[in-house]
Amino acid sequence: MPSPEPLLELEHVSAGYGGAPVVRDVTLAVSGGEVVGLVGPNGSGKTTLVRVASRALRPEGGSVRVAGRDPYAASGREAARLLAVVPQDIAPAFSFSVLETVLMGRTPYLPAWGGGEPDDWAKARAAMLAASVQHLADRPVEELSGGERQRVVLAQALAQDAPVLVLDEPTTHLDIRHVLDVLSIVRRLAERDGSAVLAVLHDLNLAGAVCDRIVALHRGEVVTDGRPEEVITSGLLRSVYGVEAEVVPDEATGHPTVRLGAIRTTTSVSGRRAHVVGGAGRAAPLIRRLSEAGYDVSVGVLHESDTDATVAERLNLARVSVPAFSAIDPESAAGCARLMRSADVVIVCDVPFGPGNLENLRLALGAAEAGIRTLLLDQVPIAERDFSGGEATALWGQLREIAGVASSYDGLISGLG
């Protein structure tokens, strides 16, 4: 249960390295018991923000408060007791054992020469246990694998016993099991111990799974700040990452999940446009294959709630649609005609035609007669698909004289050339 008092606050923070500021006017807050994810593409300023928060980079504007105090006004020791950073990795120059390394995390509490109280040793061991490295206590750190070393780093930060924890891409070298281990440790810290956790994560699915809130950075500014399902959307992927992808809620957990299969970049590879006349699910396989072939696909005119319409929505294709069970109005028809005219090829699928979508055939015929390359999919004979009292058959027959015909999806695709 997040406490109302934020333990880490950045307000209107601007910071940079001497030139133009890398982050501008960033405001974010993390309360105790919360895990907040910081996401954004490379170069968006995530690491800079981590530095500002951890007293490593003084902000040029705005303020930072950790547990109510300004870390830059406090001594290094005091600040280290309030905020612990888990860096991506440590590359120690000299050989220390895991236990010695974790004990270094107790530095903010130790006197200059002293070895440490029993309490410090206990906290160090507890930290190692939490990070699952207690069995490596006497091993030299440089002999560990990347994943083991990262957990030692985590243990060192845990030993600091600070109410605020900032993790800078802590899962970089970890295999899937250890990724889940680390994240579950982080969640437990928040839920059980009330720590405020800010985690810079590059994997959006992980962020969606583990964070209570997500802050997205783009070019040094906060573009959105909210619950994972609000933030991780295809819109975010497109505007911030420049990626076209589906985001669906996971059936079991409800976490927003980016579907890898549908990812392609916004600009089409081949630069060719195809317009598909579909309906009743006949166009769906074709649409997918055309997209994969690099075509920029448009569809129309479709009726909403039609399967093909759903696919088109998901893929965010340019489309013309009309409400279910209604006729195609002149405006929609004109829009569709425009789409057809700007395409390199118009493909008419073997859709059942009735009064509601007969206009599509007329539009296709119009496009074909205007010189647009047209292809017909004729796997299911028109006779079985005519619900318009013969008019569809007549129009289909006229189209057949002008357009190319294929009797299968494969044949159609290969006919595109």
Partner 1 sequence: MRPGARRYRRVLLVLSVALVGSALLAVSVGAVAISPGSVVRLVVWKLGLGPRPNVSRAAEVIVFQLRLPRVALAMVVGLALAVAGTLFQGLFRNPLADPAIIGVSSGAALGAIAVIVLGGGTVLGGLGVSAAAFVGGLLTAFFVYRLARVGPAVNVATLLLAGIAVAAVISAAMSLFMSFAGEEIRSIYFWLLGGLSSRGWTAIEIVAPLALLGVVGTVALVRDLNLMSLGEERAAQLGVDTARFKRRAVALGALLAGAAVSVSGVIGFVGLMTPHVMRLIVGSDHRRLLPAVLLAGPTFLVLADLVSRVVLAPQELPLGAVTALIGGPFFLVLLRRERRRASAVA
8 Å CB contact between 194 and 5? no
Which residue, 81 or 123, has its beta carbon nearer to partner 1?
A: 81
Nearer to partner 1 among residue 109 and residue 409 (C-beta)? 109
Report the alpha-carbon distance of residue 276 to residue 413 in Å, rounded.
13
Which amino acid would we find at residue 273?
Answer: R
User: C-beta of 59: minimal distance to partner 1 in Å?
Assistant: 16
Token code pair at residue 84: 């612990």
Among 60, 100, 191, 203, binds partner 1 (CB under 8 A): 100
Smallest separation, CB 15 to partner 1 (Å):
15
Please answer whether residues 64 and 243 qualify as being in contact, where contact means their C-beta atoms are separated by less than 8 angstroms: no
- Which stretch in 76-84, 249-257, 323-331, 359-367 sits in contact with partner 1 by CB under 8 A? 76-84
Instruction: Compare residues 76 and 381 and give the one whose CB is closer to partner 1.
Output: 76
Nearest distance, CB of residue 171 and partner 1, angstroms: 19
Helices and strands of the chain, counted as H and E runs: 15, 17
Cis peptide bond prior to 301, omega within 30° of 0: yes
112 binds partner 1, rule: CB under 8 A: yes
Supply the minimum distance, in Å, between the C-beta of residue 55 and partner 1: 7
CB of 214 to partner 1, least distance (A): 24
Candidates 94, 252, 383, 384; binder of partner 1 (CB under 8 A) is 94
| Residue 226: both structure tokens together | 């909210």
In the complex, the smallest distance separating the C-beta of residue 189 from partner 1, rounded to whole angstroms, is 18
CB of 351 to partner 1, least distance (A): 59
Question: Residue 97 Cβ, how far from partner 1 at the closest point, in Å?
Answer: 8
Number of residues that bind partner 1 (CB under 8 A): 35
Q: Which stretch binds partner 1 (CB under 8 A): 75-83, 276-284, 331-339, 357-365?
A: 75-83
By CB under 8 A, which span of 37-45, 105-113, 177-185, 347-355 interacts with partner 1? Answer: 105-113
Which of 72, 77, 83, 82 minimizes the C-alpha distance to 111?
Answer: 77
Contacting residue, 16, 41, 60, 110, with partner 1 by CB under 8 A: 110
Residue 248 token pair:
């669906």
Instruction: Report the distance separating Cα 412 and Cα 400, nearest Å.
Output: 14
Q: Rule CB under 8 A: is residue 394 a binding residue for partner 1?
A: no
Residues 6+ away with beta carbon under 8 Å from 340: 275, 346, 363, 364, 366, 367, 372
Closer CB to partner 1, residue 12 or residue 58? 58
59 binds partner 1 (CB under 8 A): no
- Smallest separation, CB 58 to partner 1 (Å): 11
Q: How would DSSP label each residue in 5-32?
A: SEEEEEEEEEE-SSSS-SEEEEEEEEET
What whole-number distance in Å separates Cα of residue 157 and Cα of residue 125?
A: 12
Residue 201's nearest CA partner among 354, 47, 68, 355 is: 47
Q: Is 316 exposed, middle or buried (0-12, 13-18, 19+ CB in 10 A)?
A: middle
Site membership for partner 1, residue 113 (CB under 8 A): yes
218, β-bridge pairs? 221
Look up residue 10 and give its two tokens. 């950045």
Q: How is residue 217 written in tokens?
A: 């950075």
Tokens of 124: 């160090």
**Does 160 help bind partner 1 (rule: CB under 8 A)?**
yes
Please tell me whether residue 144 binds partner 1 under the rule CB under 8 A: no
Residue 115, number of CB atoms within 10 A of its CB: 9
Looking only at residues 36 through 55 of this chain, which bind partner 1 when binding is defined by CB under 8 A? 54-55
Give the one residue of 115, 118, 330, 371 binding partner 1; rule: CB under 8 A: 115
In the complex, the residues that contact partner 1 under the rule CB under 8 A are 54-56, 75-81, 84-85, 87, 90-97, 99-101, 104-105, 107-108, 110, 112-113, 115, 138, 142, 160
